[in-house]
Amino acid sequence: MVFCAMFFLSGCTSLMITRVVSPTVENLQKQKDVDLVCEGAPSFLLMIDSMLTSNSDDTDLLITATQAYGAYIAALDVCGRKERATVLSEKSREYGLRLLVQAGVCKSCKVPVDAMRQNLQKFGKSDVPSLFWGAYGWAVWLQYQYGSPAALSDFLRVEQIMLRVVELDEGYYHGSAHLFLGMYYGARSAMLGGKPEQGKEHFRRALELSERQLLATHVAYAQSYARTVFDLDLYRDLLHEVLEFKLEDRPDLYLANQVAKRQARQLLQEMELYF
Amino acid sequence: MSLRVRGVQLFIMLMVLAYGQVCCAAPKYLFKVASVAPDGSVWAQHFRDFVKEVATKSNGDIGFRVYLGGAMGDDRAMYRKMQVGQLHGGGFTMTGIGPVVQDFRVMGIPFLFNSYDEVDQVRKGLNGSFKKAFAEKGLEFLAFTEVGFVYAMSTSPITTLPQLQAAKCWLPEGDPVSAEFFSSIGVSPIPLTIPDVLTSLQTGMINTVFNGLYGSIVLQWFTKATFVTDIPFGYAYGAFLLDRRKFASMPPHYAEIVRAAATRHFQALLEDTRKSNFESRDVLKENGVAFVKPTPDSLAELIVGRDDAVTRMRGKAFSKEIYDETIRLLKENRQ
């Protein structure tokens, strides 16, 4: 192992990712015991951090890190540790931006939006994982900036990357770029610069591409677009569809869908606050 | 598949965290309120803090149902809904509530304030008059909110009055104070609703808009209007109002709980808004926006035009009394 670390560091890392890290992540996703995930994930994150210290530019590892941090932050609410999210989102940003810089999307990622849009044209389908997870890691952090001016201007750049992902491979990860754009456009009324109807189209496409089995899409659709346009029927229908879904039908999405079901129940309970 | 997919739902989880929970047993006094501010905005965050405090201190007897993001329409639609009892209050902009309580418009006179310190002095001095004017219209004036100083923002630099006169300027709909001022300085503006402004900037139908620095980022206008004429053109603000009859239906000590919580949390909102505007200046510069200074001659001409407009507006757009009181407070502050 020491030999491997000294002379074949990058190869060794990729072996770790292929044989240890990724299967661990997949196993986590199939877990039905949320508490076990809550307790186990921090060790996993520490391991990834350590690996990135010595292999700071390993693309696969950076993607795994962005996913793992994003996923753990998403689970913090269920884990009862939501106060940790803002601090942890810094890591998500760091790894996301590193991915984008490494892919050549931007150097400081403060590049003007038009220039970024032009630059994105040179990327192809094989770049989609770096583009999507880079933008995702960045967006996770931006969400925790609670509408700060810097975050709002950065969202314009994330939007451009997600639009390019849609152009290159709209089905990537169950249409997740559509999901992002649906929320980004659908969560604000036109009076506040939102584009609810465009958001709706992205949500519809995300539902199609995920075969309506990634329940997070339904929840996001209800929580952003349906609320923005005050469509109670849509809100109810989407959330009831989530509750009726059989988790066993998608064991590979068990954990994600389990969390979505909890959110759907909560959103239905607080329906009267919004409608 | 893996955690990757699970990570996708973060977009939702985060929003849940931002929204938080606000109440929920059946309150004895339920206020349905609305705002055009979106969920997750500083307005929404502080409003939820306000709601939590009120709910806690009244043991859940007072509750609020909040319709955000313009779900109940703009200010005018919100006011109509208040009149028929569908709503009991909301966050209003000065232009939106101005037709109901005209005197509330007075702080929107162009080039009135030089600093936020002046704004605060006048705001405090006029508070009693505003409270009374709103009460006469059946409204409980609970808090003052602000967008902040408004600047001219354009697709090419504007430093002189002739440049402004030649520009294709946007005029916010329903703002007689600005309309009168533009008329005085020889500008023929184009009235548009806010959703149409960005598109009109993109097509060239207009090339000059007016907004706070933070507002220009929220609405993305800065992506097209990349020059800011660096002097406060005016001041934009609003109010948090409740239906007075509904408000008076509560026991006095409950009314006091609401007033005290509103004072505290809306003051925090005001401070956050100013912080956002302050930070926005640097963010705009980082994004390639240039700040240009108006020439002293042009500024003097604009002030003359403003005074001319005020002469015509006094007694029409707002009362002579409120204007005189405003000027008195300003002079007092400047001494």
Q: What is the pLDDT of residues A101-137, one digit of tens each?
A: 999 998 888 888 889 999 999 999 999 999 999 999 9
| Strand-pair category, B89-93 with B139-154 | unpaired
Q: What is the pLDDT of residue A12?
A: 38
Q: Min CA distance, B92 vs chain A (Å)?
A: 14
Cβ of A274 and B67 within 8 Å? yes
Q: What is the pLDDT of residue B30?
A: 94
Contacts for A145-152 with beta carbons within 8 Å, 24 or more apart? A146/B18, A146/B40, A146/B42, A146/B45, A147/B40, A147/B41, A147/B42, A147/B218, A147/B276, A148/B276, A148/B279, A149/B213, A149/B214, A149/B217, A149/B276, A149/B279, A149/B280, A149/B283, A149/B284, A150/B279, A150/B283, A150/B286, A152/B217, A152/B218
Euclidean distance between CA atoms B80 and B89, whole angstroms? 11
Q: Point out the residues of chain A with pLDDT beneath 70.
A: 1-29
Q: What is the pLDDT of residue A28?
A: 61
pLDDT in tens, chain B (335 residues): 333 333 333 333 333 333 333 334 589 999 999 988 877 677 888 998 999 999 999 999 999 998 887 778 888 899 999 999 999 999 999 989 999 999 999 999 999 999 999 999 999 999 999 999 999 999 999 999 999 999 999 999 999 999 999 999 998 877 888 899 999 999 999 998 888 899 999 999 999 999 999 999 988 999 999 999 999 999 999 999 999 999 999 999 999 999 999 999 999 999 999 999 999 999 999 999 999 999 999 999 999 999 999 999 999 999 999 999 999 999 998 88
Select the residue of A29, A180, A190 nearest B11 (Cβ to Cβ): A180
What amino acid occupies position B51? V
Q: What is the pLDDT of residue A199?
A: 96
B26 in contact with chain A, both atoms CB, cutoff 8 A: no
Q: What is the pLDDT of residue B4?
A: 35
Q: What is the pLDDT of residue B293?
A: 96
| Strand-pair category, B62-67 with B227-243 | unpaired
Q: What is the pLDDT of residue B14?
A: 32
| Strand-pair category, B190-192 with B139-154 | unpaired
A65 in contact with chain B, both atoms CB, cutoff 8 A: no
- 3 state SS of A77: helix
Select the residue of B7, B22, B286 nearest A70 (Cβ to Cβ): B7
Interface test with B, best of A77, A218, A274, A275 (most B CBs within 10 A): A274
Q: Tell me the chain B residues in contact with residue A139 when contact means C-beta distances shorter than 8 Å.
A: 11
Q: What is the pLDDT of residue A109?
A: 86
Euclidean distance between CA atoms A101 and B170, whole angstroms? 39
